[in-house]
Structure 1
Amino acid sequence: MAYSSEKLSEEKVFKDPVHRYIHVQDRLIWDLIGTREFQRLRRIKQLGTTYLTFHGAEHSRFNHSLGVYEIVRRISDDVFKGRKEWNDDDRLLALCAALLHDLGHGPFSHSFEKVFNLDHENFTKEIILGDTQVNKVLQRAGEDFPRKVEEIIAKTSKNKLVVSLISSQIDADRMDYLQRDAYFTGVSYGHFDMERILRVMRPREDQVVIKQSGMHAVEDYIMSRYQMYWQVYFHPVTRSAEVILTKILHRAKDLYEANYKFKHEPIHFYSLFKGEMTVNDYIKLDEAIILYYFQMWQEEEDDILRDLACRFLDRNLFKYTEFDPAKEYKKLTQLSELFEKAGIDPEYYLVVDSSSDLPYDFYRPGEEEERLPIHLQLKNGDIRELSRESSIVDAISGKRRTDHKLYYPANVIYDDRNHPQIKRQIRELLELE
């Protein structure tokens, strides 16, 4: 029997709080789950620093990846199977891409990427195509199979239908993380009727479409997404933790470049600091490693690194105030000058953070991110873009919302033992008194 069609002698089942059960029948999928690169995802949190805001948000990229796989398995085995627009030969390709789509995420992913100018998608590609256990498993399904999987994840494949299952404005990735993140954070916003959406999905030549009768379930999904972004993903306390995390990594990098002598050598960071990170180095990095160094850095001679590490681990986060960079840039300049006079380095302790989201948009050629619209299939078989039929979606379509906050260490600027007059001026500018 060909490896790509080989089934396990007995189906494996994962208990899951979101989907109840995750079913694995294919030998290839089971072998991929067992690779060191996939098991590493157990040690990467799905929501980064969000656990400091919502204490239940301890779930991992491993949980989420299995969930995306399960949704695609249900679509391919239960919803699309036997439909003339769906090629059953694409089933395993779709399942592998779903399972491996987040393979390249690093510890505290987005903050980590910003500081070291990394892209998790590049590492996903390198893990799938490089000298790894994942690649060896995929190779057994065909010499060109790893490349096909990578192209689906990278959205460069000509098989647009399978790409849209993994990456579109209504895909298995989003359907899992919205529900999973809502479950683990304890909020009610991310819940929607996924069962209904799956039942009304239909394959077309180049993307998944939704039967018109399922429009209201899709409206609910889009509003759930909108609420989750602003109530959970962009929560100002989470962003404060991300600001401090980012500044810790920046400080460690700056000290390394200044030939600072660390008490405890950050050997796991050397290839990052030098910009020479290999896939093997990357796979060894996880959040336990990062937090270990933060523990060590609490004892460093450098005041800034020591303070920031303590703040992150003890959850002594920065406070924030609303801030409009376009209108208040002069205030930011004044505050920076006052911080310096008070002996507080504004580079690390006065930070503007912005979050921006576009909840739904129809396709606009030339945009930085191509956003394929959600299409409804009318009763007569015609296809119509969602916002043309839904007044709810039309109301938010194309409307980008941006939020700016200014973060600062409140305990320091309220401490009048040093520079009391300057700190009073800082508080007045921040409208704290």
Structure 2
Amino acid sequence: MKVARKIVNDPVYGFITIDHPLVFKVIDHPYYQRMRRIQQMAFAHLVYPGAVHNRLHHSLGAYHLMSNALAELKSKGIEITPEEEVASKIAILLHDIGHGPFSHALEQTLIQGVHHEALSLLIMQSLNEEFKGQLDLAICIFTGKYHKKFLHQLISGQLDVDRMDFLTRDSFFTGVSEGVIMYDRILKMLTVHEGELVVEEKAIFSIEKFLVARRLMYWQVYLHKTVLCAEKMLVNIISRARDLITAGIPVNAPSATLDFFLHHTEPLNISKHLKKFCQLDDYDVMGAIKSWMFHPDKVLSVLCRMLVDRQLLKVKLQAAPFSGQFIANEREAMAIITGLSLDEIAYFVFSGEASNTTYDPTEERINILFKDGSIRDISQVDNALIQHNLSRPVKKHYFCYLNPVSASSMFTTLPY
């Protein structure tokens, strides 16, 4: 029987081949297609205008890298059956399917107590029922229960194809060249030792470049102070809407799906509402924000106007935490300028902490296979960059506040 074959033209890798009927079925499913409507990088486009790619782009890119990684391992004599190959490709295709609107930005805000990984598994299990058990092996690999551990490590590990794609893709779309990694060389150097994924000695410098690129991308892009501020403003918008609802003040979203999750503030058994969740995307949230620009509540309407018009809060960064007294003083001063209460001004004047660890050898390790057959963690390699620098967490404390010059007019000017 002739197997259908299609190619997708990707701006990062060129042509991506899809050549298995079950992979077609997964990609065609509405749950998967929903990822077109979820931004990969939330509000990073407010700083890097080209960063408008979505979760589906990333998923297909990770699938492409998985295909290349499996082909490389098979060429080195590592046994991977056709069933394992298809299952691994499906597992990586679906690894991020549980992301909600604006990806990480609203995680734990719209649906509390459930991480996107858990939602991804629930959706995979739902699809498996629909596909009559054809995703059993993909789920087993995804959850790390399959006996060939290296297949799971390709999906979730220090050197997984998920990270390789998002670094490559995000640096491409943002134009931040510091994030460029030698993904093709890393893939060529992958092998398996005692059932686990390792990297040949020749790839040490490429691995170091990968780790440095990760660190630079986090601080230059993912945790950029303006991106961070916009995402916290989004969280505050949802929080304010919920606070008003709790107080009995009507706040309705144009989307019935978003309205459902907004009005259910108590912990939900999300497995009972999975179909509703799979109808939720960025469009629902942005539609609501544009509608709430005209809400009679000043806090909600101003927050929404500021985000839509990119009139964001100011941000200060420093190594030490901002003192409680400093924040209290700033809130009191701004409350006088705006006429808001201290509780209300807290939505506009707040602090927090951003943290990133580039490589923690106490977690999943990057093991290097040397020519003499010995195995060492990358942090134990002589002169390795991460030995002293990249294994320690880096923390930055941020303080977001209203511009005192324009603060007063924001709360007296009618929306449009």
Report if TM-score (shorter chain) is over 0.5. Answer: yes
Kindly state the Cα deviation for residue 314 of structure 1 after the two structures are TM-superposed: 0.7
Choose the corresponding residue for 1:394, options 383, 387, 410: 387
Worse-superposed segment, 177-186 or 317-326:
317-326
Choose the corresponding residue for 2:61, options 26, 43, 67: 67
Q: Is the 8 A contact 2:84 2:137 kept in 1?
A: no
Is the counterpart of residue 12 in structure 1 residue 37 in structure 2?
A: no
* Displacement over 6 Å in runs of 4+: none
Worse-superposed segment, 87-96 or 19-28:
87-96
Aligned residues: 398
Q: 1:55 to 1:41 in 2, by over 3 A?
A: same
> What are the Cα deviations for residues 42-89 of structure 1, in whole angstroms up to 9, with x where unaligned?
111110111111100010100000011111111112333462454554
Kindly state the Cα deviation for residue 192 of structure 1 after the two structures are TM-superposed: 1.8
Look up the match of 2:398: 405
Provide the alpha-carbon RMSD of the alignment.
2.3
Kindly state the Cα deviation for residue 324 of structure 1 after the two structures are TM-superposed: 5.6
Q: Is the 8 A contact 2:42 2:102 kept in 1?
A: yes
Choose the corresponding residue for 1:382, options 352, 374, 382: 374
Kindly state the Cα deviation for residue 297 of structure 1 after the two structures are TM-superposed: 0.7
Structure 2 counterparts to residues 277-296 of structure 1, below 5 A:
277=270, 278-296=273-291
Choose the corresponding residue for 2:33, options 39, 43, 47: 39
Look up the match of 2:364: 372
Kindly state the Cα deviation for residue 338 of structure 1 after the two structures are TM-superposed: 3.4
SS at match of 1:315: coil
SS at match of 2:194: coil
The 1-side partners of 2:410 and 2:83 are apart by: 72
Q: Is the 8 A contact 1:352 1:404 kept in 2?
A: yes
Look up the match of 1:115: 109
Kindly state the Cα deviation for residue 265 of structure 1 after the two structures are TM-superposed: 6.0
The 2-side partners of 1:416 and 1:265 are apart by: 28
Q: 1:416 to 1:12 in 2, by over 3 A?
A: closer
SS at match of 1:352: strand
Look up the match of 2:414: none
The 1-side partners of 2:245 and 2:145 are apart by: 38
Counterpart amino acid of residue 120 in structure 1: H
Structure 1: any 5+ residue segments left out of the alignment?
2-6, 364-370, 419-433
SS at match of 1:335: helix
Report sequence identity in percent: 28
Kindly state the Cα deviation for residue 304 of structure 1 after the two structures are TM-superposed: 0.9
Look up the match of 2:173: 184
The 1-side partners of 2:396 and 2:115 are apart by: 24
The 2-side partners of 1:324 and 1:189 are apart by: 23
Worse-superposed segment, 319-328 or 28-37:
319-328
Q: Is the 8 A contact 1:360 1:396 kept in 2?
A: no
The 2-side partners of 1:135 and 1:176 are apart by: 29
Structure 2: any 5+ residue segments left out of the alignment?
412-416
Kindly state the Cα deviation for residue 21 of structure 1 after the two structures are TM-superposed: 1.4
Worse-superposed segment, 213-222 or 391-400:
391-400
Choose the corresponding residue for 2:125, options 129, 141, 144: 129
Q: Is the 8 A contact 1:85 1:203 kept in 2?
A: no
Q: 1:162 to 1:249 in 2, by over 3 A?
A: same
> What are the Cα deviations for residues 305-357 of structure 1, in whole angstroms up to 9, with x where unaligned?
11111111111100111246646232123223334444342320112132111
> What are the Cα deviations for residues 235-291 of structure 1, in whole angstroms up to 9, with x where unaligned?
111111101111111111111111212366663234323144511111111111111
> What are the Cα deviations for residues 185-242 of structure 1, in whole angstroms up to 9, with x where unaligned?
1110111212211111102334211100111111111111111111111111111110
Choose the corresponding residue for 2:248, options 259, 267, 271: 259
With normalisation by structure 2, the TM-score equals 0.89
The 1-side partners of 2:232 and 2:410 are apart by: 26
Q: Is the 8 A contact 1:299 1:306 kept in 2?
A: yes
